Amino acid sequence: MTEITLALIKPHVLRNTYAMQQILSLISQHFTVLGQKEVHITKELSERFYAEHQNKFFYHRLTSFMNSGPCYALILQSEASIQKWRNLLGPTKVFRAVYSDPNCIRALYGLSDTRNACHGSDSEASARREISILFPEFKVALPDTLE
Ligand code: CMP
């Protein structure tokens, strides 16, 4: 089934031109990009985006980091895009990523569990919610694209 997902490239990767080129090239091989932009994630936006983690020990670290510099957000479309992008990312925890697949994005460009290179939506509902936060202008197109 054709799906859309939200990919978010975290601030330390955006500063690394080589990493950005590699990740954008990989994305172009696997997905149709329906939207892309550099975004400054304010603290408020970051707290909305990661609301489900607000009781976790890493919440403040994560929301502060996402607010520390520009990020790069993309709307990706393909068959099973949610799982496909998450497979390219590898496990959330970088040490697991390194052991499970040394060539996955998080193994190559992740620095820590917070600075784990990129984010990917974990479900259709999350994709809709996250896209509506970072691409409010895309809202109207969402239902059609998902059908
Ligand atoms: P992300 O895909 O952005 O979605 C939630 C984020 O929470 C996740 O990637 C990690 O950056 C962060 N996270 C999850 N577990 C931990 C952890 N144990 N320690 C620090 N950060 C974490």
Q: What is the pLDDT of residues 71-121, one digit of tens each?
A: 999 999 999 999 999 999 999 999 999 999 999 999 999 999 999 999 999
The total number of residues shown for the chain amounts to 147
Predicted TM-score (pTM) of the model is 0.94
Q: Is 16 annotated as a binding residue?
A: no
Q: What pLDDT is attached to residue 75?
A: 98
126 CB within 6 A, ligand 1: no
104 close to 4: Cβ distance less than 8 angstroms = no
Q: Is 106 annotated as a binding residue?
A: yes
58 CB within 6 A, ligand 1: yes
**pLDDT category, 140, cuts 50, 70, 90?**
low
Residue 144 has pLDDT above 80, yes or no: no
Q: What pLDDT is attached to residue 107?
A: 98
Q: What's the CA gap between 109 and 95, in Å, rounded?
A: 12
62 CB within 6 A, ligand 1: yes
User: Ligand 1: which of 61, 114, 123 to mutate, judged by most atoms within 8 Å of the beta carbon?
Assistant: 114
Measured by CA distance, the residue closest to atom 15 of ligand 1 is 113
Residues in CB range of 85: below 8 A, 6 or more apart? 5, 7, 30, 31, 76, 120, 121
Q: What are phi and psi of 145, to 5 degrees?
A: -65, -30
Which H/E stretch holds residue 120?
strand 118-120
**Measuring CA to CA, which residue among 125, 106, 128, 124 is closest to residue 115?**
106
107 close to 98: Cβ distance less than 8 angstroms = yes
**What domains sit in the chain, N to C, each tagged with a CATH number?**
2-136 (3.30.70.141)
* CB environment 78-105: b (16+ within 10 A), e (fewer): beebbebbbebbbbeebeebbeebeebb
Q: What pLDDT is attached to residue 58?
A: 97
Active site residue 12: no
